[in-house]
Amino acid sequence: MSSTFKATSVTEAGEPDGFTPPLLYSPQVGPDGTTRLVVSAPGSDLPRIHRLLVESLEAPLGVLWVQLVDRASGQRQEDDPRRWLTLEQQAGAVLSAVDRSPHLLYGDARGQLWIRGALGEQLVLDELGMVYLYPDDPAFRTALESAGVDESSAPTMADRDYVRVEFDAAADPEEQALLQDLSMQPLAATDNLEDA
């Protein structure tokens, strides 16, 4: 695992400001009434928390990789990200792929990993190292609290004014392996994920 983390809170001049993401979760309600839990973890604890939450999803699983930045070319793709999808994956295969991708998932900010369970529950690991759980479900809360994650409204990385993200060349082969190991297929920009 890389000693660098996906994102670092910095001053306006780009120097680390000493902020460490707290270990917590907090509930949110969207304008449309949908609920979610937002999970923050220090970089050193993020792999453990993320894996635990993936384990809490009901298989079979659907996995979406959203590439926001092509690290090799340096091209940002936020407005039209490249996406790969796989469906009907067994939990063991997804957990193995997660375990083999530490640089990509926890030390590199090029993309987001979306995992959907058989009951429609969803987990998103974003480019800042934040985890979003849909919906706000007692099963997610139980998993978090059993891992020592308490509910709190303290500021997280998502609340920082300036954040520097990392792009780690060691994640390049891991990204290719993730796509191959889970037989992920590229999606066209016009594909509707709700129909998948």
Long-range contacts of 142-147, Cβ-Cβ distance < 8 Å, separation of 24 or more:
143/52, 143/53, 143/55, 143/56, 144/25, 144/37, 144/39, 144/49, 144/53, 147/48, 147/49, 147/52
**Average pLDDT over the chain, rounded to an integer:** 92
> What value, to the nearest 5°, has the Cα angle with vertex 106 and ends 104 and 110?
50
Rounded distance between C-alpha atoms, residue 138 and residue 37, angstroms: 11
Q: What is the mean pLDDT of residues 45-73?
A: 95
Q: Residue 90 pLDDT > 90, yes or no?
A: yes
Q: Residue 12 pLDDT > 90, yes or no?
A: yes
* Residue whose tokens read 């520097």: 164
Q: Residue 166 pLDDT > 80, yes or no?
A: yes
Query: Pairing between strand 131-134 and 82-89?
Result: unpaired
Q: Residue 50 pLDDT > 60, yes or no?
A: yes
Q: Residue 193 pLDDT > 60, yes or no?
A: no
How many C-beta neighbours within 10 Å does residue 23 have?
A: 19
15-40 pLDDT, tens digit per residue, is: 999 999 999 999 999 878 899 999 99
Under a CB-based contact definition with an 8 Å cutoff, are residues 40 and 156 in contact?
Answer: yes
Q: Residue 157 pLDDT > 70, yes or no?
A: yes
pTM for this predicted structure: 0.92
Rounded distance between C-alpha atoms, residue 139 and residue 147, angstroms: 13
Q: How confident is the model at residue 80 (pLDDT cuts 50, 70, 90)?
A: confident
DSSP string covering 68-89, please?
A: SEETTTTEE-TTS-EEEEEEEE
- Domain locations in the chain as residue ranges: 7-187
